[in-house]
Each structure stands twice: as structure tokens, then as C-alpha cells.
Amino acid sequence: MLSRLSFTTAALCRGLSTTAQNNASVAVLGAAGGIGQPLSLLLKNSPLVSKLSLYDIAHTPGVAADLSHVETRAEVTGFIGADQLPHSLKDVDVVVIPAGVPRKPGMTRDDLFNTNASIVATLTEACAKHCPEAMICIIANPVNSTIPITSEVFKKHGVYNPNHIFGVTTLDIVRANTFVAQLKGLDPARVNVPVIGGHAGKTIIPLISQCTPKVDFPQDQLEALIGRIQEAGTEVVKAKDGAGSATLSMAYAGARFVFSLLDAMNGKEGVIECSFVRSEETACPYFSTPLLLGKNGIEKNLGMGKLSPYEEKLVAGAMDELKASIKKGEDFVKSRK
Ligand SMILES: NC(=O)c1ccc[n+]([C@@H]2O[C@H](COP(=O)([O-])OP(=O)(O)OC[C@H]3O[C@@H](n4cnc5c(N)ncnc54)[C@H](O)[C@@H]3O)[C@@H](O)[C@H]2O)c1
């Protein structure tokens, strides 16, 4: 009971209405991994979810049996191996994909491309065939390439809807909120920093000038703060010393994003999250900005808003890397048989 209360309280502080009831069917692909397991636990703990489908190439029977004993109504089913992938996607409303290898010290997210590009292409091909209408939330890195990959796969199958495909960048927002709160002595649950651009190094662009509540930093502190947000993933990779990248904070961030999406699909108004999506806001065909979510996914792209001159420079400096990562993802699918 305590855990239910404390999660609900935390969620409410962030404005997430996890007390609302819904009948959403959610699939987690990569459910037995470092992110997949705690993310599945948070989803199982939510009254928004009535069916939870857990797919992985290993260990899902155990994870599903374990989670199924949690005293919440979501019905949990485990699926293992490629033969069972189509069954895991039957009638699902939302698919979350944390499948793929994480970084080790010294690696960039782009170093994961060779392994994760084909994992994401294979899994999203199955989604395009078996749940073409579902919302697809991609956690697997490099997000700057795995979203173009997903989009190209859906186009190939003639079922592309750009309003349904999301690169989950929520952890960047979560980190920015936490670090700003630490520096200013605020409650992190009441801080909101939009983070735009992409999800790797300098493509991560926190808009401190648009933070609520309003905060000010001298330029040197501002640059140090932005640098820390951009490299926060690497901070965790180094601290884990070879044992992977962020899993618990990512599970929290992934759950926050999915709950927002489910709330919006359920008719709640005014739900806004940043996400890396198909976009016409800049010269990049994919870009993260705040999005108004609705019953059909992206209701409206709210754009970048007014940037400070320094933030404008950060956006300009991210464009080449973003465009290259996007093209790499698109080319990968075009050259795939
Ligand atoms: N978007 C973000 O902000 C963010 C943050 C942290 C990590 N990540 C990324 O999330 C991914 C997963 O990280 P993790 O720490 O959970 O890794 P992990 O190695 O602990 O787990 C990955 C899981 O994927 C499974 N898997 C591998 N190939 C699969 C396939 N073809 N089908 C289904 N499942 C498959 C593995 O069996 C494993 O259970 C990585 O790519 C990592 O870089 C993204």
C-alpha cells in the first residue's frame, strides 16, 4: 500500500494522473533487460494499464511470472523468441522498445548503431505488420538514428503515421529538472525544463531560458549545467564501470512518457512532453520539441518557442550531427533487404 501511495504521490507532483483508470494494452520489447524490467514493474503498477505483454529473446517467462504476482489488475504475459513476437503485439495500443545493447565506458551512442539498428528494424517490422496502428516509443539508442529507422520501416510497409512514432528523450528532461533543482534548492518535481534537438551529446539542447519556474545563471554556470545535462548519460556509464548505462532513471523516464501518452489517448487535455519525432520545425527532418499529445498521438507540435542567443547557437551547432545520424538511419533501411 505504501509503495502505491508513494508512486501515486510522486506522479501527481509531476502532474501525471496515474489514478485514472484505463484499459490500455502495452507491449515492452526487450522486457528482460536493465531498463525493461523496472519499466515493466512501473507499468504493472499503473491503473492505466490493463494488459502488459513482455517480449525478449531471453528470460521473459521468469520476469512475467514474477511480475504477475504484483497485486494490480494488469494481466501480464511473457513471450520469448522470434516465433512469439507476433503474438506479443496482438491488439496492443502502445509498444515500448528498450531492446538493444547499452554503452560501455568510452563508447558514444552512435557506436551502438551496428548492433541496435538491426534489432530496432526487426522489431519495428513486426510492429508494422502486427500492430500498425499502435503508438511506438523507441528507447533503444542511438535514438537520433533509430527513429528514422522506425519511420522508414513503417513507410516500407505502407503504414507510416508520423504522429505515432516517438523517440523517448524524457530522461534528458528528467535530468535537467533534477540538476536545476539541485542548483537552485527547488523541489525537482516542480521544475520543468524543455529539452529540444536530439538525444546524443551536443544534440541535447536544454532550454534553461524557458524553465519554469524562471531561473537565471551566470554564463559560466549555465554552460557547466548544459554540459552536465548533455553528458549525464556518460556520467552513469562511467560510474557503472562496464555494467551498462542508465536503467533505473530511464525506466522512470520511460514510464513517465508512456503514462503521459496514455493519459492523452484517454482524453486528458493539455498533456505536453518533448520527444524526438518527424518535424518541420527546423532544417532537420526529425527534431525534438514540446508536443501536445492527444487521442491520436501528436496533436500539435508546439515548436521551440523563443530561444536565447546562446540556445540559438547550440541549435545551429547540433544540425550537422543530427542530419548525419538521421541519414545513417534512413540509408540503413533503404539498403536492407
Ligand atoms: N533513450 C534513452 O534515454 C536511453 C537511456 C538509457 C539507455 N538507452 C538504451 O536502451 C537500450 C537498452 O539498454 P539496457 O540497459 O536495458 O540494456 P540491457 O542489455 O540490460 O537489455 C537489453 C535487452 O534487450 C534484449 N534484446 C536484445 N536483442 C533483442 C531482440 N532482437 N529482441 C528483443 N529483445 C532483445 C536483451 O535480451 C536484453 O534483455 C540500449 O540501446 C541503451 O543505449 C536509452
- Read off the pLDDT of residues 239-276 as tens digits, 9 standing for 90 and up: 999 999 999 999 999 999 999 999 999 999 999 999 99
Q: What pTM does this model have?
A: 0.95
Q: How many Å lie between the centroid of ligand 1 and the Cα of residue 51?
A: 22
CA distance 54 to 90: 12
Residue nearest (by alpha carbon) to ligand 1 atom 10: 140
Q: What is the structure's pLDDT at 22?
A: 82
Q: For residue 147, give the C-alpha cell.
A: 527513429
Residue nearest (by alpha carbon) to ligand 1 atom 11: 140
**Residue appearing with cell numbers 533505473:** 248
Ligand 1 pocket residue status of 174, Cβ below 6 Å: no
Catalytic residues, by residue number, are: 199
- How long a stretch of residues is the chain? 337
Q: What percent of the chain has pLDDT over 90?
A: 93
Q: What is the structure's pLDDT at 337?
A: 77
Q: What is the structure's pLDDT at 14?
A: 55
Q: How many Å lie between the centroid of ligand 1 and the Cα of residue 104?
A: 13
Single-letter residue type at 76 = V
Q: How many Å lie between the centroid of ligand 1 and the Cα of residue 82?
A: 16
Q: For residue 83, give the C-alpha cell.
A: 516465433
In the chain, what is the greatest distance between 2 CA atoms, to the nearest angstrom? 56
